[in-house]
Amino acid sequence: MARSTISSLSLSAVLLSGIFWPALAQGAGDSIAAQDKVQLRILEWLPSKSEYKEWTAVSGEYRVSPAGTLSIPFVGQVAVADRPRNEVSDLIARSLQQRLSLLSQPDVSVEVVSRAPIYILGGVEAPGRFEYTPGLKAIEAIALAGGFYRGGGGAIRLERDAINAERDAESAADTLARLEMRLARLEAELAGRNEVEVSLSGPDESRRRTYLVEEQALFEVRRQARLSQLESARSRQNLASDQLKALDQKAANLDRQISLAKAQLADIEHLVKNRLAVASRAYDLERTTADLEGKRLDIEVGRLTANLAINESQRDQVDLVTKFRTDVGTELQATRAAISKAAIELARAKELMNEVLVIAPQTLARRAGNIEVSVQIFLTRAGPDGVTTREIGKNEVLRAGDTIQVQMNTEEEGGRARDTASIQ
């Protein structure tokens, strides 16, 4: 039996080279295998009615037996294993014509509903039952089972862990840089500065500079929005103040008019009392005085409304500043907490990187020594002559229902057996 022997230095490359995805071979899926499930559909042409009639008593799904036969009503056992579908269709059609003495053969279609699974055992990462794909090769089946067994801590796993650790560290560093620039922006907002001031020196200068540009843009947008809101409140306050001044002037003018009207009314009442003026003149002056006092009352209501508008605009300005500082303070607390968490994550990721890239490879190398690994693949298949087992190469094309056994033998230099991962 042929063996392929590889050194421990090239074990990682050999294991990686065995990981492929199964390819579909066109045309190789026509043959029917034991334990396949097939769909039969049988139609008969009726010339008198010019239509097809389906044989529902025969049509349906059938499971190919382990011996490779189908049990069909009116026909009996039909050997179908390793035969193409069109050959099986012709065989069933001829059998039905002979058994039922038909003038012509019925139309028989055979479709494979599901394939028998394959089983992969021994020196693989995840042994078990797997779906069969026509044209599947032995090395592709091993890839379905996770590839050759890596011993729980081999070179491939180290490579994968190194990639994951590096990505985790990169992500943590990116998050930390972003949060630090956000913190600088929030501190600038709380201090009332016109721009974000922060030192960019360090290993992440390029990344921090990128995030600083983003935070500076956000800082400016928020600053302009805040100034616009405050300016709007001040404008309302100024407008109400101008209205109040105008009302005060009108009130002073009306006060003079009311004073004059009352003086004239007193004079007229004196003349009326002495019968030197008519009473209607006094009535007119009284009505004029009442109208002026009503307008004076309207001005007082207007002054009250203007004062309320001034107080409201002042309160809005205070609320805007208070809410902004409260929100920024809350964001600052959350950002500082997030920075602490990101720093911990970055430190953990760096420790994992050190373990994966330095400590673990050194440990693996000390444990491995000068080891030789030999891989054997065995195929167990049921056929007309019974079940057989033989050693195969990695490019052997499998059939549905096959069982693959992978055996990996490790030996130290000098030929002494060290470990074996195989099917017992």
The yes-or-no verdict on residue 340 having pLDDT over 50 is yes
Of 1-10, 76-85, 241-250, the range with the lowest mean pLDDT is 1-10
Q: What is the mean pLDDT of residues 276-297?
A: 82
Q: Please enumerate in sequence order all residues whose Cβ is within 8 A of that of 201, keeping only pairs 6 or more positions apart, or say none.
A: none
Q: What is the mean pLDDT of residues 394-400?
A: 88
Residue in the block written with tokens 């922060």: 198
Of 66-75, 202-211, 408-417, the range with the lowest mean pLDDT is 408-417
Distance CA 397, CA 387 (A): 17
Quick one: which of 347, 20, 327 has its CA closest to 169?
Answer: 347
What percentage of the chain reaches a pLDDT higher than 90? 13
Q: What is the pLDDT of residue 7?
A: 35
Quick one: which of 121, 112, 123, 118 has its CA closest to 136?
Answer: 118
Provide the Cα torsion 286, 289, 291, 292; round to 10°. 180
Distance CA 230, CA 89 (A): 86
Q: What is the pLDDT of residue 23?
A: 33
More confident residue, 5 or 183: 183
Quick one: which of 403, 398, 401 has its CA closest to 37?
Answer: 401
| Cβ-contact 115, 400 below 8 angstroms | yes
Q: What is the pLDDT of residue 24?
A: 33
* Segment of 125-139, 321-335, 409-423 carrying the highest mean pLDDT: 321-335
pLDDT band at 234 (very low <50, low <70, confident <90, very high): very high
Q: What is the mean pLDDT of residues 288-298?
A: 88
| Cβ-contact 313, 233 below 8 angstroms | yes
State residue 107 phi and psi, 5-degree precision.
-85, 120
The yes-or-no verdict on residue 4 having pLDDT over 50 is no
**Cα–Cα distance list, 144 to 141, 164, 274, 317, 387 (Å):** 5, 22, 127, 67, 24
Distance CA 88, CA 105 (A): 14
Q: Please enumerate in sequence order all residues whose Cβ is within 8 A of that of 88, keeping only pairs 6 or more positions apart, or say none.
A: 32, 70, 78, 80, 110
- With b meaning 16 or more CB within 10 Å and e meaning fewer, what string describes 163-199? eebeebbeebbebbbbbbbbbbbbbbbeeeeeebebe
Q: What is the pLDDT of residue 342?
A: 85
pTM above threshold 0.75: no
Distance CA 239, CA 13 (A): 80
Three-state DSSP class for 219? helix
